[in-house]
Structure formats: structure tokens, C-alpha cells
């Protein structure tokens, strides 16, 4: 070890204490969401702790400390002159408005959901074997669903389907579609509502995800969607679907090459596979130097994505940033896909690939 540089030590300590504060903030932000505190602040405007507590029928002392923490961490604003707390339009978009593309509350949900997994993860570093999605319980599936909800609700039908030649017309006339790794089923709901003559199957190996999908489908009143677990009802081995979609599934699954082969077999000759997967660089050095949210994605990887990809002894464990465009091209070509197109769909987190046989 080199001797300690006191100035660097001070800077490192400051940075690290900010991260400890951010870890506490994860739980406290989820509380703000669950208790409706952010939404209430937006509704009533600048207020003191008593008014906010009264509005939500909460205890003032708890609300006051929550406001102090939220202001110190930078998520809320405080006027010392007026002694009032408020939420900015930007903070509201990120923390409270599920209809805004910047909404990130699902990220806090997902991060909090993995805290109880620490002991199992410690063991995984020794055995090499990680956790399935269901080993996390219901909250992880819920966080992931919320993180990707905007794209499915507001961009899939209007921006993505038009990128697939002839697909809007085929779906309008009545086509057969599978969403593999459907999670909470939001993609099948959006498509099922837009294209009532088509039929949809949502496949997921996670019972927690399927339970959420069942509830979401019932709430949406969508009747042209069927859900199933491919562990008991695998994808058909014959060319069946006009369209198969996967949203952030391939990098997660323990056997990605097998899954790509199954998708190839289940797709009709004139069908398309729309594959959303994480945008990243081909090397760690480039991710470190250039990826704007590499730390967030590697955090997800250790706790959720690589963890799930290694949930079996021979799992591939690609990791969140592991299914790069280059690897996607190689693996899909190996399974027989002839055409591979990177679609021009703007998304800071994901790439969209369109494949056909
Ligand atoms: C990151 S989540 C994405 C869920 C959903 N597509 C979304 O965007 O919200 C990945 C999902 O893929 C599922 N999954 C992983 N491997 C699978 C497989 N071989 N077949 C079906 N589902 C799979 C997981 O259970 C999990 O629900």
C-alpha cells in the first residue's frame, strides 16, 4: 500500500458517505411513493410538515423528518425564508408521474427489493450459483415492470410496430403474437388493446411475474391474451407466430442460445422478432469511460440480471450489459436468423433489434 494522501482520502470519504446516504434514500424514497407524499406535495404546493401530514392523515413528526432527509439528499426543495417545502416539476416527473418517460420510481423499488438477497448473494460468490427471479419475491418483478412501463404503454404501438414492415396491417387483420419473458404483461396489454383481432401469449418462467401479469390483464379487461409458463408449456416447436417480442430478456436468461433457438423455431417464415436489450459498448473499458449509467446497470447485474443468468450451474450469466449488439448478431446468426437490423428507436437504456428468418 502507498501512504495515504489526506486530500484524496477526504474526497473519497465524501463520495462514499454520499453513497451511504443514497442507500438510505432508497428506502425513504419508496416510503414517499407508497405513502403518496410526492403526489401530495405536487397537489398542495409549497407547504410545511403539518399541512402535508394533515393532508395525508399521517403523523407530523415522521413527515417532518422525511422532508428534512429528502431536502438534504436533493429530491425536494426548501425555502428557509418561508419555511416551506416543495417538489420541483423535474423531481415530480422522475418520482411521481408514471406517465412521464423520465419516471424512475421502479428503479428504487428494484434496488430495495434486492437488499434482502445479500446473504444469498454472498453464498453465490462462493458456489457460483445465483438466484432465480422468483427467489427475490414479488417486489423485484414489480420494480422491473414499473421501470419499463412507459415504453410499453406509450411507445410500443405508436413507434415500434410501425418499424416492422407490414406488421400494423397484419395485427389489425388478426395475427398470432408471443411476448417471451412478459413480466407484468404490459406489452401484451398494450398490443392486445390496440389489435383486438390478434391473439397474444405471454410467456414467463417467473410465477411472481405471471401473477402480476394476471392481475394487470384482469384490471385492463383484456381478453385476447393468454399467459403461460414455458417450464410447463414450452414455446411451440413449429412455426406459429407472426411476431415474437422480448423486452430485456435475453441477457437475463440462463440459456440465451437455447431461447434464441426456440424463438427461431416458433416464428413463422415471414414473421419478425422484435428484441429489446440493453444498450452497451463491446468492452468494459468503453462502458467505464463512456456509458452514462454503467454503475446503475452493473448494480442491476450483480443483484438481478447476472444473478438470474447464473441461477443454474451451467447458466450463461451474460449480465445486464452482456448481450451487446455484436454478440446479438453472432448468437442470432448461429440460430439461423438471416436478417438483423438495429432499429432507429431512441432510448438511452435499450437497443431494438428486428430479426427475421
Ligand atoms: C428484466 S425482466 C423483463 C420483464 C418484461 N419483459 C419487462 O420488460 O418488464 C426479464 C423477464 O424474463 C423472464 N425470463 C427469463 N428467462 C426466460 C425464459 N427462458 N422464458 C421466459 N421468460 C424468461 C424473467 O422471469 C423475467 O420476468
What does the pLDDT read at residue 115? 94
Residue 28 has pLDDT above 90, yes or no: yes
The three cell numbers of residue 335 are: 440460430
Containing domain of residue 60, as a range? Answer: 6-97
Residue 104 lies in a domain: no
From 144, 152, 204, 232, the mutation candidate for ligand 1 (largest count of ligand atoms within 8 A of CB) is: 204
Residue 315 lies in a domain: yes
Tens of pLDDT, residues 219-266: 999 999 999 999 999 999 999 999 999 999 999 999 999 999 999 999
What does the pLDDT read at residue 139? 82
The alpha carbon of 281 and the centre of ligand 1 are apart by a number of angstroms equal to 22
Q: Is 266 in the pocket of ligand 1 (CB under 6 A)?
A: no
Tens of pLDDT, residues 261-274: 999 999 999 999 99
Tens of pLDDT, residues 305-328: 999 999 999 999 999 999 999 999
Mean pLDDT of 20-48: 98
The alpha carbon of 287 and the centre of ligand 1 are apart by a number of angstroms equal to 24
Instruction: Kindly state whether residues 129 and 257 are assigned to the same domain.
Output: yes
Residue 1 lies in a domain: no
Domain limit, last residue, from 39, 63, 97: 97
Mean pLDDT of 36-50: 98
8 Å CB contact between 352 and 274: yes
What does the pLDDT read at residue 223? 95
| CATH at 38 | 1.10.10.10
What does the pLDDT read at residue 92? 98
Instruction: Kindly state whether residues 63 and 198 are assigned to the same domain.
Output: no
Instruction: Kindly state whether residues 158 and 264 are assigned to the same domain.
Output: yes
Tens of pLDDT, residues 116-144: 999 999 999 999 999 999 999 888 888 89
What does the pLDDT read at residue 75? 98
Instruction: Kindly state whether residues 32 and 123 are assigned to the same domain.
Output: no
Query: pLDDT confidence of 82, banded at 50, 70, 90?
Result: very high
What does the pLDDT read at residue 140? 84
| CATH at 172 | 3.40.50.150
Which pTM was predicted? 0.95
> Which residues are registered as beta bridge partners of 24?
none
Strand ranges across the sheet with 241-247:
225-228, 199-203, 176-180, 241-247, 267-278, 350-356, 339-342
The alpha carbon of 11 and the centre of ligand 1 are apart by a number of angstroms equal to 40
Instruction: Kindly state whether residues 330 and 226 are assigned to the same domain.
Output: yes
| Number of the ligand 1 atom closest to the C-alpha atom of 304 | 1
Mean pLDDT of 271-298: 97
Residue 75 lies in a domain: yes
Amino acid at each position: 500500500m502507498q501512504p495515504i494522501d489526506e486530500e484524496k482520502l477526504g474526497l473519497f470519504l465524501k463520495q462514499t458517505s454520499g453513497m451511504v446516504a443514497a442507500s438510505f434514500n432508497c428506502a425513504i424514497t419508496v416510503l414517499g411513493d407508497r405513502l403518496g407524499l410526492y403526489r401530495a406535495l405536487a397537489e398542495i404546493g409549497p407547504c410545511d410538515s403539518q399541512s402535508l401530514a394533515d393532508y395525508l392523515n399521517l403523523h407530523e413528526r415522521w413527515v417532518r423528518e422525511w422532508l428534512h432527509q429528502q431536502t438534504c439528499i436533493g429530491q425536494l426543495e426548501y425555502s428557509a425564508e418561508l419555511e416551506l417545502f416543495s417538489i420541483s416539476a423535474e423531481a415530480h416527473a422522475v418520482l411521481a408521474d408514471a406517465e412521464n418517460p423520465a419516471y424512475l420510481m421502479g428503479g428504487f423499488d428494484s434496488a430495495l427489493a434486492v437488499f434482502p438477497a445479500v446473504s444469498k448473494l454472498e453464498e453465490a460468490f462462493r458456489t457460483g450459483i445465483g438466484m432465480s427471479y422468483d427467489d427475490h419475491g414479488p417486489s423485484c418483478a414489480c420494480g422491473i415492470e414499473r421501470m419499463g412501463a412507459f415504453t410499453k404503454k406509450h411507445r410500443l404501438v405508436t413507434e415500434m410496430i410501425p418499424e416492422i414492415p407490414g406488421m400494423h396491417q397484419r395485427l389489425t387483420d388478426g395475427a398470432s403474437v408471443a411476448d417471451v419473458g412478459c413480466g407484468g404483461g404490459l406489452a401484451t396489454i398494450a398490443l392486445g388493446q390496440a389489435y383486438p383481432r390478434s391473439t397474444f401469449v405471454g410467456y414467463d418462467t417467473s410465477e411472481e411475474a405471471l401473477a402480476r401479469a394476471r392481475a394487470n390483464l384482469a384490471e385492463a379487461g383484456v381478453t385476447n391474451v393468454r399467459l403461460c409458463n414455458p417450464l410447463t408449456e414450452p414455446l411451440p416447436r413449429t412455426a406459429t407466430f407472426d411476431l415474437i417480442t422480448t423486452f430485456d430478456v435475453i441477457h437475463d436468461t440462463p440459456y440465451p442460445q437455447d431461447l434464441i433457438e426456440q424463438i427461431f423455431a416458433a416464428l413463422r417464415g415471414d414473421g419478425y422478432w422484435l428484441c429489446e436489450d440493453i444498450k452497451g459498448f463491446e468492452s468494459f473499458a468503453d462502458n467505464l469511460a463512456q456509458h452514462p449509467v454503467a454503475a446503475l446497470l452493473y448494480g442491476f447485474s450483480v443483484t438481478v440480471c447476472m444473478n438470474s443468468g447464473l441461477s443454474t450451474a451451467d447458466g450463461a450469466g451474460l449480465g445486464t450489459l452482456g448481450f451487446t449488439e455484436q454478440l446479438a448478431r453472432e448468437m442470432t446468426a448461429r440460430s439461423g436468423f438471416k436478417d438483423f437490423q438495429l432499429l432507429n428507436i431512441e432510448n438511452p437504456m435499450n437497443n431494438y433489434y428486428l430479426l427475421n428468418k
